[in-house]
Structure 1
Amino acid sequence: MDTPTNTALTVLLAEYGYTHQSLADEVNQASGRIFGRPGAATDRDVRRWISGTVRWPTHRYLLPLAEIFDRPPEAMGFVPRGRTSRLPAPPPSVRPEQEEPVKRRAFLTTSTATTLTLVLRLEETPVRGHLTMTDIDRIHATTGRLDAHFIAIGGGALLTVATTYIDHLRKTADGCTYGPRVEQALHRALSNLHSTAGWAAYDAGDTPTSRLHHAAALQTAILTKDGHAQARAWADLSVQSRAEGRHREALNINRAALQTRHARQDPRIAALLHARLAIGHARLGNPSASARSLLAAQKAHDHFDTTAPPPPWLRFLDAAEIAGLAAIAHRATGKLPDAERATAQALHLLKPSVHRNRAYYGIQLAQLQLAQGDTTTARATATAIDTTTVSSPRIARRLATLHHQLTTT
């Protein structure tokens, strides 16, 4: 039986500019920092990881890889042995000194949370003393890694990790001294963390907790007078309202968010809000308004600045995601063939490393095929959905429902 190629790791090598040998050298250096002595990885090891011959490397390689690429093993395309993806912590002799270690590690109750915490390096953020912009840069890098984790594989244990880091930064805010510029940046990070925690709770199906975090994200963004964070919070609250069936409220939130300065000036935010506005119009039975919003989203996408990287939370928004959101709008207006074509387009355009959305839109495609009476194709589509590297209870439930529908059809 042929082993599947690790396309996610292949993409990462190209993205970071590594050759097989240079990645092996980097792994060995990182191993020296983590374990106190250099590793022994070779280019042959890297080839075996990429070919899929080795699907779950030893922890002496996994921990360095997680540090190098700032993501957990599943997001690098590795497949756990058996039921666990637990990574051991670095040896105590080389672990950085910590204050209140029991409190800081109390949330490590699941294997995924352990992995995420090691990757995030939460110990780098001080809770007393003077806070500088260098500390803020590390905090924003950490929140970016959280967003990247969600985009790649979903919420999973992210809610526990994000809320723990929020508590940690609250202690930082109370226990450190800093100037106005640092204070604003710190609260911007807190707003982004609440948004990420809200999405993680949404992925877990915990609606009340999701709404609380999204509301806290908006409140914090308003207090710090950060327009970009406010735009993110408003966009997230519109999805929250839609998920709870309050489609008119979601529509009004989207309209208000589109009037903000950042939405008018940032094509990425505008594209996201217009696409979600299209879904709102569709759910309220206004197909013509939905079509106009989809066109506006596409026009905004055409004006993306591709020379500058987007903020981490917006990296998911590309042509694939806009096609996927258009499919949801088409489905809501009853245009199932259009929805199927748009979903297939989204799957075709998705990057190999975006496992969560690939599973999400794969399920959506099978549901659309089933709704149109094409049971055979729907079964084939459902069988091809790979959730091995996805950590999302919401998607797992959707897939289980899909399989149940297929078995009873």
Structure 2
Amino acid sequence: MATPTNTTLTVLLGEYGFTHRSLADEVDRVSGRIFGRPGAATDRDVRRWISGTVRWPTGRYLLPLAEIFDRPPEAMGFVPRGRTSRLPAPPSSVRPGQEEPVKRRAFLTASTAATLTLALRLEETPVRGRLTMADIDRMTTTIGRLDAHFTAIGGGALPTVATTYIDRLRETADYYTYGPRVEQALHRALSGLHSSAGWAAYDSGDNATSRLHHAAALQSGVLAKDGHAQARAWSDLSLQYRAEGRHREALTINRAALQTRHARQDPRIAALLHSRLGDHSACARALLAAQKAHDRFDTTARPPPWLRFLDAAEIAGLAAIAHRATGRLPDAEKATAQALHLLGPSTHRNRAYYGIQLAQLQLAQGDTTSAKATAATVDTAAVSSPRIAQRLATVHRHLATAQETP
């Protein structure tokens, strides 16, 4: 059986402008700083990573690669040797503050909450003294890494890690001194962190905790006087309620959020809210409005970190969820297939999520043959999501039952 090529790493080399030789040189440079001695990577090593001959490099290479590309190993196309592969922490001689000020060590995937906490460097969050906007920027960067981890491979140990970080920031809020501007920024950061924690909890199958986090995100957004944070929280609550089958509440929340000034002025928020509307009587109009809002995106300006996931693939995926909620299964199947076609190579969680959804839709329409073929293509090796694993197991169980039925 041929070893699959690491196409994700190939794409990253192109995006960052690396040749095989220049990437090896950069790995050696970063390795020297992390481990205190020069690295030994060559262009041959890079070719072996790309060809798939080496599917999980040693920590001496993996830690530098994670820093260079600022993402967890699975999001670079690497596959753990077993169910999980624990990354070693950098040597204890490497202390916070010794790294380059602009490019910090990436948020690294790990098999335990303790290692994830180390990777997020929660211990660097101050709890005494005077809080500045520079401190807020560091918090925001940390939350962005948490979001990137979730988008790439799923929740995994993130609920515990996010809750730990929330407690840390609450302690910061209690014991620090700061002015009104910093206070609002701190509440904005807490709102984003609660939103991230909410989706991590949902991914782990804990709906009650997820709902509490989304409500807390809304409260922090109000305290921050930040319309974007509030729109995000309303949108998350709407999708949460719909996932729980509470469609009327979801619709009421989403309609109210669409009337806010930020939804009217920011096409990204408008696209997000319209695509999550799920109104039986106006589904087509809502999805058309979402597509029109997407067409108005300012591609020259970087969106907020939490909205970077909202691309053409996600719009198609959200449309599929809306179609499914309103009973339009053929339309949902078509939109799900489109989302899978548009997804980037590093979005392992979403690819597995929509792959399973496609199989479920095919099963619901009685197309067992297509559902079986689709389920066979779902790859969860690089995904850490109890909810996704449970959904895939359910699909396989239904397929087995369907095959046994005469």
Give the alignment's TM-score, normalised by structure 1. Answer: 0.91
Structure 1 match to 2:324? 331
Structure 1 match to 2:186? 186
The 8 Å contact of residues 85 and 112 in structure 1, kept in 2 or not, is answered as no
**CA drift at 1:229:** 0.7
Counterparts of residues 86-105 of structure 1 (less than 5 Å): 86-96=86-96
Q: Deviations along 1:214-270, whole A, 9 cap, x unmatched?
A: 111111110111111111111111111112221111111101111111111111110
* Separation (CA, whole Å) in 2 of partners of 1:50 and 1:301: 34
**CA drift at 1:212:** 1.0
> Which runs of 5 or more residues in structure 2 are unaligned?
98-109
* Separation (CA, whole Å) in 1 of partners of 2:113 and 2:73: 12
**CA drift at 1:115:** 4.7
| The 10-residue stretch of structure 1 (156-165 or 366-375) with the greater mean CA deviation from structure 2 | 366-375
Structure 1 match to 2:356? 363
Q: Any runs of at least 4 consecutive aligned residues in structure 1 with deviations exceeding 6 A, and if so which? A: none
RMSD: 1.9
1:308/1:341 CA distance change after superposition, 3 Å: same
Structure 2 match to 1:233? 233
1:380 corresponds to which of 361, 369, 373: 373
**CA drift at 1:16:** 2.7
* Separation (CA, whole Å) in 1 of partners of 2:86 and 2:297: 39
* Separation (CA, whole Å) in 1 of partners of 2:2 and 2:373: 20
**CA drift at 1:41:** 1.6
SS at match of 1:94: coil
2:287 corresponds to which of 294, 308, 316: 294
**CA drift at 1:21:** 2.5
Q: Deviations along 1:274-310, whole A, 9 cap, x unmatched?
A: 0111x2x13xxx3xx1111111111111111111121
Counterparts of residues 8-407 of structure 1 (less than 5 Å): 8-96=8-96, 111-277=111-277, 279=278, 281-282=279-280, 286=281, 289-407=282-400
* Separation (CA, whole Å) in 1 of partners of 2:70 and 2:41: 19
| The 10-residue stretch of structure 1 (2-11 or 144-153) with the greater mean CA deviation from structure 2 | 2-11
The 8 Å contact of residues 24 and 41 in structure 1, kept in 2 or not, is answered as yes
Question: Given residue 134 of structure 1, which amino acid in structure 2 is its aligned partner?
Answer: A
> Which runs of 5 or more residues in structure 1 are unaligned?
98-109
Q: Deviations along 1:12-47, whole A, 9 cap, x unmatched?
A: 223333332232222222223322223222222122
1:128/1:33 CA distance change after superposition, 3 Å: farther
The 8 Å contact of residues 221 and 229 in structure 1, kept in 2 or not, is answered as yes
**CA drift at 1:142:** 1.0
Identity of aligned residues (%): 83
Give the alignment's TM-score, normalised by structure 2. Answer: 0.92
Question: Given residue 309 of structure 1, which amino acid in structure 2 is its aligned partner?
Answer: R
Q: Deviations along 1:146-187, whole A, 9 cap, x unmatched?
A: 111111111111111111111122222223332222222122
**CA drift at 1:114:** 4.5
**CA drift at 1:118:** 4.2
Structure 2 match to 1:104? none
Question: Given residue 31 of structure 1, which amino acid in structure 2 is its aligned partner?
Answer: S
| The 10-residue stretch of structure 1 (110-119 or 35-44) with the greater mean CA deviation from structure 2 | 110-119
